[in-house]
């Protein structure tokens, strides 16, 4: 019976989302097993989206058009990097004419990772009553249209976070987890930064203030690594990925990769407000982690240290004019559920003068939702999008895939 009801609900993505949120509010322990209603419906809504203005997704669609004219080997040569999984995915989607799967797959990765971390956390901590808040947190703090326009970077980060969670919390170090660590680096070069943080997490336990202080030297470190960039090329595909990541960081630091976009950011009221909100949230999360580290005696201790490093990375990106911090703040929001659930569950054990830090964090989803609605005006034509989102569902997507394969 559950399967039949779910199948019917999936006919309407907005209805599936609404029913799931109501269910998780009233009977979270039962309704967590229906999280696929939320994730699949968000992917369906992303599939219905058409780029508006000149977002990154429009550029990706142009790349797909180029890939459609070439063989796979020519696509590898076209990009000339070691991001093989990206190249293969783009080539397949281009040949099948299924470019709309790019935003849908992005939503599937990002919101699927956030939901997995949230549900597993609230089950392990016997904190099911906080599932709704943790879910609302990442739904509001991850701007939907920005996420599905970003595609590669945020998807790579989400996959890496699933690996980190399985590794640090569930203590799973099997072939599947190792693949989850490798895959992001074949999608976007910046994913290697999340793997670097995973290596550094063993030093974050008692050295949090020192690590935060060292972020002051990041500009000098970027300059040094860029000057030695030829050194990394000696290490083959891995070296090329590292070199690409260093080049990106240097370009954003100097403004060479920003150009007119940097000036637009400087003049944007939204970008100023968004930077203030995300930076202040990172500061509050860092403070809460420092305060709570004596209360976290569970399997989440090292994972919370990793979350600390993610938020330090958010602050470190303040050196860039363009909003490069958003990549790390998005990752931190995807990964935040364990800290939120633990904080809410143990809030009465905290000294009363530290509790306001947690309560301030709890207000951020309201600000995140306002910012999300504000900026969406520049990314979506609601007159076109809403009717399409109402009639697009997982079944229409599957039909498009089957038809594209049959006609290919």
Rounded to the nearest 5 percent, the helix, strand and coil shares of the chain are: 80, 0, 20
Cβ-contact 153, 205 below 8 angstroms: no
Per-residue pLDDT, 338 = 95
Distance, in Å, from the CA atom of 266 to the CA atom of 126, rounded to the nearest integer, reads 45
- Return the sign of the alpha-carbon dihedral for residues 161, 322, 84, 407: positive
Per-residue pLDDT, 404 = 93
401 Cβ contact partners less than 8 Å away, ≥ 6 residues apart: 96, 98, 101
pLDDT digits (tens), the chain, 408 positions: 477 888 888 999 999 999 999 999 999 998 899 999 999 999 999 999 998 877 789 999 999 999 998 999 899 888 877 788 999 999 999 999 999 999 999 999 999 999 999 999 999 999 999 999 999 999 999 999 999 999 999 999 999 999 999 999 999 989 999 999 999 988 988 888 898 889 888 776 666 656 655 555 566 566 666 666 666 666 666 666 666 666 666 665 555 555 555 556 666 788 889 999 999 999 999 989 988 887 777 789 899 999 999 998 898 887 777 778 899 999 999 999 999 999 999 888 888 878 899 999 999 999 999 999 999 988 999 999 999 999 999 999 999 999 999 987
Per-residue pLDDT, 103 = 95
Per-residue pLDDT, 296 = 78
Distance, in Å, from the CA atom of 127 to the CA atom of 342, rounded to the nearest integer, reads 8
Distance, in Å, from the CA atom of 296 to the CA atom of 339, rounded to the nearest integer, reads 9
Q: What is the pTM of this model?
A: 0.89
Distance, in Å, from the CA atom of 284 to the CA atom of 20, rounded to the nearest integer, reads 30
Cβ-contact 371, 270 below 8 angstroms: yes
CB atoms within 10 A of CB 33: 11
User: b/e for 125-136, b at 16 or more Cβ within 10 A?
Assistant: bebbebbbbbbb
Distance, in Å, from the CA atom of 304 to the CA atom of 310, rounded to the nearest integer, reads 10
264 Cβ contact partners less than 8 Å away, ≥ 6 residues apart: none
Cβ-contact 401, 43 below 8 angstroms: no
Q: What is the Cβ-side half-sphere exposure of residue 167, based on CA atoms within 13 angstroms?
A: 22
Per-residue pLDDT, 80 = 77
Distance, in Å, from the CA atom of 316 to the CA atom of 211, rounded to the nearest integer, reads 11
- Return the sign of the alpha-carbon dihedral for residues 19, 25, 31, 35: positive
């Amino acid at each position: 019976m559950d399967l039949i009801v779910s199948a019917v609900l999936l006919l309407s993505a907005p209805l599936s989302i609404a029913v799931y949120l109501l269910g998780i509010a009233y009977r979270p322990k039962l309704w967590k097993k229906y999280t696929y209603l939320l994730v699949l419906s968000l992917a369906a809504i992303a599939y219905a989206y058409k780029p508006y203005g000149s977002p990154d997704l429009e550029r990706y669609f142009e790349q797909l058009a180029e890939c459609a004219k070439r063989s796979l080997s020519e696509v590898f040569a076209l990009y000339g990097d070691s991001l093989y999984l990206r190249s293969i995915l783009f080539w397949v989607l281009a040949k099948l004419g299924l470019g709309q799967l790019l935003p849908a797959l992005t939503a599937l990765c990002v919101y699927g990772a956030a939901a997995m971390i949230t549900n597993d956390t609230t089950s392990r901590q016997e904190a099911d009553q906080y599932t709704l808040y943790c879910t609302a947190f990442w739904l509001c703090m991850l701007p939907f249209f920005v996420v599905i326009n970003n595609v590669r970077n945020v998807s790579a980060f989400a996959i890496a976070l699933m690996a980190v969670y399985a590794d640090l919390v569930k203590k799973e170090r099997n072939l599947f987890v190792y693949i989850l660590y490798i895959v992001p680096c074949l999608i976007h070069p910046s994913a290697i930064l999340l793997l670097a943080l995973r290596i550094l997490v063993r030093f974050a336990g008692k050295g949090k203030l020192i690590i935060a202080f060292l972020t002051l030297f990041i500009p000098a470190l970027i300059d040094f690594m860029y000057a030695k960039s030829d050194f990394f090329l000696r290490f083959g595909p891995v070296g090329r990925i590292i070199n690409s990541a260093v080049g990106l960081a240097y370009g954003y630091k100097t403004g060479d990769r920003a150009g007119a976009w940097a000036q637009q950011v400087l003049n944007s009221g939204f970008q100023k407000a968004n930077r203030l909100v995300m930076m202040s949230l990172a500061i509050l999360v860092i403070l809460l982690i420092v305060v709570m580290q004596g209360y976290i005696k569970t399997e989440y201790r090292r994972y919370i240290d990793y979350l600390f490093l993610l938020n330090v990375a958010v602050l470190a990106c303040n050196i860039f004019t363009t909003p490069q911090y958003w990549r790390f703040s998005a990752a931190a929001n995807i990964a935040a559920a364990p800290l939120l659930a633990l904080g809410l569950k143990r809030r009465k054990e905290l000294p009363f003068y530290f509790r306001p830090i947690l309560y301030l964090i709890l207000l951020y989803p309201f600000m995140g939702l306002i910012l999300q609605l504000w900026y969406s005006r520049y990314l979506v034509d609601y007159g076109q999008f809403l009717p399409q989102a109402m009639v697009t569902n997982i079944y229409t997507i599957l039909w498009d895939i089957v038809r594209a394969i049959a006609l290919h």
